[in-house]
Amino acid sequence: MSDPRDMPHDHPWFEPLTKLRYRHIGVRDGTWCAIQRFNYTTATVVALDPVGYSRRYCYEHAEKPRPRSLAGTGGTTPARPWIKCKGASIDLLNPALTC
């Protein structure tokens, strides 16, 4: 579970985001991040606001994504191994993955 200090409960975006089923909502290096469950994957979503997000890093297993993994990376790329990155004009497979 996320550190409660990372969860901006008093921010006006917090309640709408939790109603949209975002979990582990936090701010990392000035960028809003959270966990969101999708049909076949679970993802760390980056640059989040009440309207949407900039990109998401998808993981096969729900226990893998954590917004904390973006800490120290400038909020750009998670440290944990992700499968796919999707977003506006982005559709990347993780180059570190091999068969």
6: confidence class by pLDDT, cuts 50, 70, 90? low
Q: Which of 44-53, 62-71, 76-85 tops mean pLDDT?
A: 44-53
Residue 56, CA distances (Å) to 2, 9, 11, 27, 99 in order: 18, 22, 22, 15, 22
Tell me whether residue 31 is in a domain. yes
Q: Residue 86 belongs to what domain range?
A: 4-93
Tell me whether residue 99 is in a domain. no
Residue-wise pLDDT for 51-69, tens only, equals 889 999 898 877 655 655 5
4: confidence class by pLDDT, cuts 50, 70, 90? very low
Number of domains the chain contains? 1
- 22: burial class by Cβ within 10 Å (0-12, 13-18, 19+)? buried
Tell me whether residue 98 is in a domain. no
Predicted pLDDT at 31: 84
